[in-house]
Amino acid sequence: MLKRSIGTSGIESSAVAFGAWAIGGWKWGGSDAEASVAAIRASLDSGVNLIDTAPVYGFGLSEELVGKAIAGRPREDIIVATKCGLVWDRETPTLHANSEGRDIYRTLEPQSIRAELLASFKRLGVDYVDLYQTHWPDPEADMRAVAEAMHALKAEGLVRAIGFCNASLDQLTASADLLDCDQERYSLLDRKRDSDNLPVCQSEELAFLAYSPIAQGLLTGRIDSKREFPESDLRHGNPRFAPRVLDAVQAVLAPVKALARDRGVPTERLVLAWTLAQPGVSHVLAGTRNVEQAEANAAAGELVLHAEELDVIDHAAAAWPGFESLLQA
Ligand SMILES: NC(=O)c1ccc[n+]([C@@H]2O[C@H](COP(=O)([O-])OP(=O)(O)OC[C@H]3O[C@@H](n4cnc5c(N)ncnc54)[C@H](OP(=O)(O)O)[C@@H]3O)[C@@H](O)[C@H]2O)c1
């Protein structure tokens, strides 16, 4: 399994991470607890040791399932990443979303960050978290002061590394000296970060954790217009899954699928390995729901792509017109 550093924190983890959003069920049409725990354990058994979760994923459920899956394994073998900043038990000035009958608010007040961390410890069954990240910036907060508050938790030994998610270039740049990583949406179909946060991560020696690297299933090449998503799945009625987009994805993936056939591997394995080969991208957080996906996604961390294969996928990626232009057309 390919290993990568989380910035200069001294932590090395698998380059492929278990993304634990979907197992929380929220926005993913529900989940199966037993299959989720089995998926995490299968990932760990396949060499993945980084797990990315968040309190809001299933309103505590994802963290609880992660806690259950890692219980009894040596704590030092597992790199647990979780987040703070989205709360559903109180009102703050910034409403983030209303979902499944709950109002979710943003807040990154120092005392709230600490309270959230202690609640995560309980759900995860741990007494420190390896990587603690702000889930979304709080427009009410000075993000540099937030980074300082997170850094203080690191100094106390409650967390080992810290990072931002969904940060603007300015926010990232202003706190880069305090952070170990940045987590952003990035995939063969989502390359905005190539020109802003990624170069900063490279020059400041921060890890870059790519989220939604399979474009929420699109890059498996196996989602077509016959696939029906339950209403509570974020992909239901989502323009990114409109028939026109699905056709364009199939066209772009054709040479990648041919390469995958030649190598006898699933398309997503090539796509994840290609993503890990992009300058500055250190980790891919692959959302995983069952044992089959766990084993397939973990295997991407063992796949070495040759220069000609990278070229083929580069050309395919360059042919992607972009979601915006497809949806405007
Ligand atoms: N910081 C943030 O704001 C943020 C935002 C989004 C995500 N994240 C993190 O990034 C992780 C991954 O992102 P994501 O879950 O949005 O998207 P993703 O990893 O691109 O896609 C995940 C979905 O693709 C399908 N899939 C995954 N592996 C597969 C395989 N081998 N074969 C077939 N289908 C497969 C599964 O859905 P089906 O089986 O239902 O098709 C799975 O739920 C999350 O779990 C979370 O840890 C963070």
Rounded (5°) CA angle 43-292-313: 90
In this structure, the residue with its CA closest to atom 8 of ligand 1 is 211
- Residues belonging to the chain: 329
313-325 pLDDT, tens digit each = 999 999 999 999 9
Q: Are strands 79-84 and 50-52 parallel, antiparallel or unpaired?
A: parallel
Contact (Cβ atoms closer than 8 angstroms) between residue 14 and residue 301: yes
- Percentage of residues in the chain having pLDDT higher than 70: 100
On the 0-12 / 13-18 / 19+ scale of CB atoms within 10 A, 99 is middle
- DSSP type of residue 101: T
Number of domains in the chain: 1
Average pLDDT estimate for 232-245? 96
Q: What is the pTM of this model?
A: 0.98
For residue 126 the two structure tokens come to 């741990």
- Confirm or reject: Cβ of 214 under 6 Å from ligand 1: yes
Pocket probe mutation, ligand 1, options 28, 232, 285, 303, max atoms within 8 Å of Cβ: 285
Pocket probe mutation, ligand 1, options 218, 236, 293, max atoms within 8 Å of Cβ: 293
Q: What is the pLDDT of residue 100?
A: 85
Contact (Cβ atoms closer than 8 angstroms) between residue 43 and residue 22: no
Q: Which amino acid is at 316?
A: A
Contact (Cβ atoms closer than 8 angstroms) between residue 132 and residue 110: no
* Residue 219 clears pLDDT 80, i.e. is over it: yes
Q: What is the pLDDT of residue 143?
A: 98
Strands (E), 135-280: 159-165, 181-185, 207-211
Q: What is the pLDDT of residue 329?
A: 72
Query: What are the contacts of 217-222 at 24+ separation with CB within 8 A?
Result: 218/189, 218/245, 218/246, 218/249, 219/187, 219/188, 219/189, 219/249, 219/253, 219/267, 219/268, 219/271, 220/266, 220/267, 220/268, 221/249, 221/250, 221/253, 221/256, 221/257, 221/260, 221/267, 221/268, 222/267
- CA torsion, points 211, 117, 60, 84, in degrees to nearest 10? -40
- DSSP type of residue 14: E
- Confirm or reject: Cβ of 26 under 6 Å from ligand 1: no
152: left (phi over 0), alpha (psi -120 to 50) or beta: alpha
- Confirm or reject: Cβ of 296 under 6 Å from ligand 1: yes
275-287 pLDDT, tens digit each = 999 999 999 999 9
User: Domain containing 180: what range?
Assistant: 3-328
List the CATH number of the domain containing 305: 3.20.20.100
Whether 57 is a known active-site residue: answer yes
Distant-in-sequence, close-in-space partners of 127: CB < 8 Å, separation ≥ 6: 121
